[in-house]
Structure 1
């Protein structure tokens, strides 16, 4: 939901928004419900300012809420009035608006103009045929998109974000925490926040601990800002600067909080900005730009060739009116009106098929980028490894087993309320198994200092006696060592000397080389004269020892890496873990590691130097979030299509920077929102299947585009030749329209076609130059055999006078229709069609249907209405020879083309 919108918000408003107030259309002016007691304020800014300064009691009274939270009945009543917590860009369009969107592509608009011209000239038959083409194209796209949207909504519901909400049980009156979809939130709801959460609505903080929020989506500020329950800001400051408010679309970087929802959906700051943004012209992505370039290439070609056809026919025939009608029909024939439907159908089919392979596509356009991806950057944990972390060892500083270290680690993991990761889960499970029966409940939690990715550690403060508190800190080894001055050796506490430091690093390096992830544990006793602790208190600690975790590699990782490599995708590991652990895991899964680049080295390199090194480096370790984002960005700047796979808060910047962000359904909210594709199984093998399907989808779209471009070019060339030499039109306008209509209907099977394995072996990207080259090479081939058909009808069947023009036109009608249909089979593969590569049964069926329909048409009673006539049976052996020659020549040119330019 937020990735596209926040990026557009940032692009459009970051230059002048940071201190800008939005005073938009009025909010709801009636009471939400009688219990609220007053109307919602008239503007977002006024409403936010009022809530920012209000006390908790005033907020409960204002929104009719309670300390225990709203009941479900109260929430439902409020939702009836204010609506679902959705911004305008998320609301499904009404059917009539969707139908209009399906109609208003440039091809349909062009055909509509041609239909109106035909009607004005009283050419009713042409009007009916052209109108039928518009209706069929629009309805097919409408039906396909409705089906795909319904499927996409069902798929996205599987990975929808939730919020932790306090709701009051109507029977017992007790408060309970529920995980609810964010669209169910209403003003007055109480929401619990922790690291990694998306802010689901505009919120007023009621209580907070070291809460830092990233507001870049709204303000462009790159650094997180601290939020708290009691404001320290002046009353007249910008609402976006209020330190008691959090806004929809932002995310929690660190800390915890309890907050009240003060606005939802379109009444939020984000919703008001979204309303403005969706009225702006949306910037197309790479896929949309590619489709647009191809579309306008064909339209420009049509606009150039149509006047030429008009001039030649008008000059040679002397009937400018008939020539104008014919040129209009040529324009219709050159219009690829089925392109939007083919694109939608192909993408929708790809999305549904990917869902069966446990890949959920949030944005259909991302499928093409999936297939085009040539570099995949991914974290190590859970991707290369099993993501089932086991606490393998708990040792003192010298490496001997120590239950006291496990005890300290358990206290830290149990009492922290921030983002509990798999390391904490492993600690809690191991402590329960090893120290069952021991009383840990005698410890009372006093405070905590949450984890963040700069410190890479977190602390809790507990008390087991009234006269002192104990601060327990666990985190990355180097970060813990930096705040330790003492070491616990057996029952003694000794200074941390250089000699001890060297010994500690030897012991931990040995653990790392065994593939164990080492987390250091430290503590200190403090007087009990305060209950509010901060990062500054993490100093002069005593190093107690280490807890070491094992995350064994997946059995599927090695074959998956090999499969991706065979598909032309280079895998790069970007991890915050120790380089020794990263090297060991990569070695176990068969990933070659010549050199590991660490975060401090990334800092020292300029962008140009980093780009050169990044292309040659396969493993990056000890990276901060912005290091990952920078590596992805410099790789993209080198012309690569880069995917990034991540599931943590620290992965969000890189997910947004990548061409295609990939996350998993178990990821934190901010990672799922930043991603384009969600995996229901965190596996490179699933990813490899998704890449293959992305390429198959793109290949089928390309078939239609290549076929349309080359066929249109050949048809116009044939028309120009025939118009210059024939005393009559080579085909009536009505014939061209009917031929195009029959042919268009047959193209609905293209999205379901098979694709050769060779086309799936490497990344595929839009290449307008290749499409133009293909058109020039293969278009004239059909013209050669069209001209042979003209010669056949002129000299063999004597259709060389105006009286015999119906016979001539019927002969070219059949040959043109069948050759256009066969071109799909010729260009769908670089191999020999029907023998080395077979089309899907649906495409074969549609091809046969076109052949039967076309031939049956000239022998049916409708032939007279269409001004066609039955062809002599002696025509058909000639037709077989012409079509056979056409296929042989196309195959020969195709072989030359493949050797010279390759085959996308």
Structure 2
């Protein structure tokens, strides 16, 4: 041991002679990216009525729990170092992948049926059947085409969406750590390839990838509220609970979908995939009602708004035409055609296509959408809560200082910090990697000849420290034990009673003489705190290191042994701000998003980083202050503060809930174990591919690059997707409302129908085809500058405001056809209907361009090429139909040449008035 210590000190002196300070690339930071989230559904606690697990279930688990570790391994025909690759492959082929199909893929015919099965298609089908019964085959063909178009496009788009989602999910890493015979270190393998008999390593932050029997455990705590309802993490042991306890009560079993909050373990995989507790429960659960999320509620509210409107207007149209024309059957068919015109039958297709297109676009911006509905919340977000490390800073931490309690550089503290980081087996964070990368021992120094690991006391977020116990070896024998504690300054100081003095000491630390120390009195505590405050003020993150020397007889250690420590000093780390942080914060602010920093780090370091990136931070709210506040006080404080420091996981969750209670749509960006509660509490959880398993499982959106710039681009794309959905709904609602008003007026005064049911259906079909380009449309930058939310009242107001404009020009068209072209009798009704057919279709198509933007269409804002091409094609087809060979099939006739001069005038007038009314609407209500 003494030779190693002398060599260690010599190595450090030579290293300093070569350079004062060098920032090394931290290659190990890439290792965090190999942990993935299991492809499981969200693990919400199953209700008691959700279906019973079969009585026979769990016998294998119970048998494994009651066996001792050796028997359990023998039962599954495996060994302590796991299965070899060939046997694992055979078992995978036999048992299938380790996946739970929460919603198994539907066969094509059933998916097609579900695409068809919506109220709008059912209404159209009823109309088609009535048309067949009334011998109107042409109307039945047109209506059938509309149903086929709506169903077919939705079927194709949902298939593409599903394939795109599967491809995007494949971008998110998804692995488990297993042992293999003959391998010097554990391997990372895809979770889906895990089989019964594998031996897995678990540590803080891991999702449990299958149902397992614990073989070894060190302070292992597992959060399994989703399975048992226990609100606090449960400690797991090697020994079982007893022969009478049930599966969930066994303390040596861990279950798929739960997560490790602290400690380490090795565990034997007993059941995978559908044979796991979670998989069996999912397979036998009865269907339960799910509460619609904000997106679904918004679509439903709009759909019911239009359905209620149709329920009122259609009977009125039927009665008016029945009494004025006397042909009740024709009036009934016409009223049903009006109902079709009021029905947004393309809404499911537009929604599906737009969301799928948005998800694909987001993927090109390094954003993976786990749940398509989350895109709307992404665009509605107005507050973003985020951690500091890796988001505002480079996440490339380097060790900058290793000083004693008085602030003087010393190798002694680096020596102990290195031993702690090297021997700990829990969640190695960036600080540990920075220590290990900074030292890089030469090959001639044999660490194993100087020290032997005895035990470990893992990190948890209550203590905020962790300890490693090593035996100092002399001639290969234990000379004494050293408990080396490393963690947050306040928490380590709380366990210290003495401080290492500044007196010079021999390089040997073999325990032959006592270390010179002083009692940690109030004056010395204040002095040490001043040293750490100075380091924090420089923007350095400070970690305290303390030691306790013990006799070599003890073999197991616990938190109770973290007492009577001697403070050795501090290691300080530099994590410079990202160059992109400041411009990203400006862009987020420009898009109406307030950024709040929620961190467990020191407040002085956090404030320094915030100042460097230009984030306003005049005051910081500490975790202790949050703890003392009630919900009302916290809601006010959360709104007025932008920086929160020294937070626990529950503090973060409370702050997120307080912001939501204040009416904000809150996004939370996190990647650690301590972020999981807040990720679940937020409207939209955002994580990164390098995050721990539980953080990714809790998130709705995964960033493939941890950057606020990437996040800002994703927000804009989410708002673009939402804008395009909103376009279709607003255009369709206002256009349909105008058509119904026109029909009501014409029906009351004309001696014939203003348009035949077949013509109305064809017009609606062509309009719907024109709308298929909307998901690909451009969106004005101004429309995505602010957060967007569903507002059904605004849609209703928009419909009532712009709908009558088209009715006004419909009435002008009626007057022109009646008085100018003498289409004023039943004998001349075909001319009248042809004239209104063309005007109605062209105004409906033009409204797409007029209402897609608050700007001047075609000049200040142009539609995307697909939408432009579709609308031009539909307008050309509408003009050609009365002239072409199909005119008689649709009971249309060629229009006189003079009509087209009137047509141009009517369309120009319509565009001019709509533009003027648009400005008036914006002044009164804003655009959206």
C-alpha deviation, 1:110, in angstroms: 2.3
Within a 5 Å distance, the mapping from 1:207-356 to structure 2 comes to 207-231=216-240, 233-275=241-283, 279-356=287-364
Give secondary structure in 2 for the equivalent of 1:240: coil
Give secondary structure in 2 for the equivalent of 1:239: coil
Distance in structure 1 (CA, Å) of the matches to 2:585 and 2:884: 59
Distance in structure 2 (CA, Å) of the matches to 1:78 and 1:820: 61
* Corresponding residue for residue 482 of structure 1: 494
* Corresponding residue for residue 205 of structure 1: 214
Provide structure 1 residue ranges, at least 5 long, that are not aligned to the other structure.
26-41
C-alpha deviation, 1:810, in angstroms: 0.7
* Corresponding residue for residue 582 of structure 1: 606
1:536 has 2:549 as partner: no
Distance in structure 1 (CA, Å) of the matches to 2:909 and 2:186: 74
C-alpha deviation, 1:890, in angstroms: 0.9
* Corresponding residue for residue 151 of structure 2: 138
Task: Say which of 838, 853, 864 aligns to 1:840.
Answer: 864
C-alpha deviation, 1:439, in angstroms: 3.8
* Corresponding residue for residue 120 of structure 1: 133
C-alpha deviation, 1:617, in angstroms: 0.2
* Corresponding residue for residue 82 of structure 2: 69
* Corresponding residue for residue 366 of structure 1: 374
C-alpha deviation, 1:842, in angstroms: 1.3
C-alpha deviation, 1:216, in angstroms: 1.5
* Corresponding residue for residue 615 of structure 2: 591
C-alpha deviation, 1:306, in angstroms: 1.2
Task: Say which of 85, 90, 115 aligns to 1:102.
Answer: 115
Question: Residues 430-488 of structure 1, C-alpha deviation per residue, up to 9 Å, x if partnerless?
Answer: 1127x785443321111101111111011011112324211101000000000000111
C-alpha deviation, 1:3, in angstroms: 10
Q: 1:311 to 1:567 in 2, by over 3 A?
A: same
Distance in structure 1 (CA, Å) of the matches to 2:238 and 2:870: 67
Q: Considering Cα pairs closer than 8 Å and 6+ residues apart, tell me whether 1 or 2 has the greater RCO.
A: 2
1:469 has 2:481 as partner: yes
C-alpha deviation, 1:608, in angstroms: 0.7
Within a 5 Å distance, the mapping from 1:739-750 to structure 2 comes to 739-750=763-774
Whether contact under 8 Å (2:38, 2:207) holds in the other structure is: no
Whether contact under 8 Å (2:40, 2:100) holds in the other structure is: no
Farther-moved stretch of structure 1 (269-278 vs 375-384): 269-278
C-alpha deviation, 1:666, in angstroms: 0.5
Task: Say which of 388, 393, 401 aligns to 1:385.
Answer: 393
Q: 1:863 to 1:766 in 2, by over 3 A?
A: same
C-alpha deviation, 1:60, in angstroms: 2.6
Q: 1:187 to 1:148 in 2, by over 3 A?
A: same
1:184 has 2:213 as partner: no
Give secondary structure in 1 for the equivalent of 2:881: helix
Give secondary structure in 1 for the equivalent of 2:596: strand
Give secondary structure in 2 for the equivalent of 1:44: coil
Whether contact under 8 Å (2:424, 2:468) holds in the other structure is: yes
Task: Say which of 92, 100, 121 aligns to 2:105.
Answer: 92
Distance in structure 1 (CA, Å) of the matches to 2:887 and 2:746: 23
1:774 has 2:787 as partner: no
Whether contact under 8 Å (2:52, 2:284) holds in the other structure is: no
1:796 has 2:820 as partner: yes
Q: 1:437 to 1:504 in 2, by over 3 A?
A: farther
Distance in structure 2 (CA, Å) of the matches to 1:647 and 1:407: 30
What's the RMSD between the two structures over aligned residues?
1.7
Give secondary structure in 2 for the equivalent of 1:180: strand
* Corresponding residue for residue 677 of structure 1: 701
* Corresponding residue for residue 444 of structure 1: 452
C-alpha deviation, 1:333, in angstroms: 1.2
C-alpha deviation, 1:90, in angstroms: 5.3
Task: Say which of 389, 405, 408 aligns to 1:400.
Answer: 408
Distance in structure 2 (CA, Å) of the matches to 1:211 and 1:468: 27
Give secondary structure in 2 for the equivalent of 1:585: helix
Farther-moved stretch of structure 1 (450-459 vs 62-71): 62-71
TM-score by length of 2: 0.92
TM-score by length of 1: 0.95
Task: Say which of 710, 728, 752 aligns to 2:734.
Answer: 710
* Corresponding residue for residue 817 of structure 1: 841
* Corresponding residue for residue 895 of structure 1: 919
Q: 1:176 to 1:589 in 2, by over 3 A?
A: closer
Distance in structure 2 (CA, Å) of the matches to 1:272 and 1:117: 47
C-alpha deviation, 1:135, in angstroms: 1.1
C-alpha deviation, 1:500, in angstroms: 0.6
Q: 1:23 to 1:728 in 2, by over 3 A?
A: closer
Give secondary structure in 2 for the equivalent of 1:890: helix
Distance in structure 2 (CA, Å) of the matches to 1:312 and 1:237: 74
Whether contact under 8 Å (1:2, 1:674) holds in the other structure is: no
* Corresponding residue for residue 571 of structure 2: 547
* Corresponding residue for residue 53 of structure 2: 24
* Corresponding residue for residue 80 of structure 1: 93
Task: Say which of 895, 898, 911 aligns to 1:874.
Answer: 898
Question: Residues 203-253 of structure 1, C-alpha deviation per residue, up to 9 Å, x if partnerless?
Answer: 11111111100012122222100011112x232223212101111111000
Give secondary structure in 2 for the equivalent of 1:241: coil
C-alpha deviation, 1:276, in angstroms: 5.2
Give secondary structure in 2 for the equivalent of 1:874: helix
* Corresponding residue for residue 779 of structure 2: 755
* Corresponding residue for residue 36 of structure 1: none
Distance in structure 2 (CA, Å) of the matches to 1:6 and 1:184: 21
C-alpha deviation, 1:547, in angstroms: 0.1
Whether contact under 8 Å (1:407, 1:431) holds in the other structure is: no
Distance in structure 1 (CA, Å) of the matches to 2:79 and 2:587: 56
Whether contact under 8 Å (2:38, 2:191) holds in the other structure is: no
Whether contact under 8 Å (1:44, 1:268) holds in the other structure is: no
Distance in structure 2 (CA, Å) of the matches to 1:698 and 1:370: 10
Distance in structure 2 (CA, Å) of the matches to 1:860 and 1:46: 75
Give secondary structure in 1 for the equivalent of 2:536: helix
C-alpha deviation, 1:57, in angstroms: 3.2
* Corresponding residue for residue 32 of structure 1: none
Whether contact under 8 Å (1:3, 1:675) holds in the other structure is: no
Give secondary structure in 1 for the equivalent of 2:268: strand
Distance in structure 2 (CA, Å) of the matches to 1:73 and 1:815: 72
Task: Say which of 505, 509, 528 aligns to 1:504.
Answer: 528
Whether contact under 8 Å (2:157, 2:352) holds in the other structure is: yes
* Corresponding residue for residue 5 of structure 2: none
C-alpha deviation, 1:175, in angstroms: 7.3
Distance in structure 2 (CA, Å) of the matches to 1:241 and 1:660: 33
Provide structure 2 residue ranges, at least 5 long, that are not aligned to the other structure.
1-36, 506-515
Distance in structure 1 (CA, Å) of the matches to 2:183 and 2:653: 45
Q: 1:162 to 1:278 in 2, by over 3 A?
A: farther
Distance in structure 1 (CA, Å) of the matches to 2:789 and 2:189: 40
Q: 1:611 to 1:235 in 2, by over 3 A?
A: same
Task: Say which of 625, 629, 639 aligns to 2:653.
Answer: 629
Farther-moved stretch of structure 1 (363-372 vs 89-98): 89-98
* Corresponding residue for residue 810 of structure 2: 786
Whether contact under 8 Å (1:130, 1:737) holds in the other structure is: yes
Distance in structure 2 (CA, Å) of the matches to 1:146 and 1:265: 25
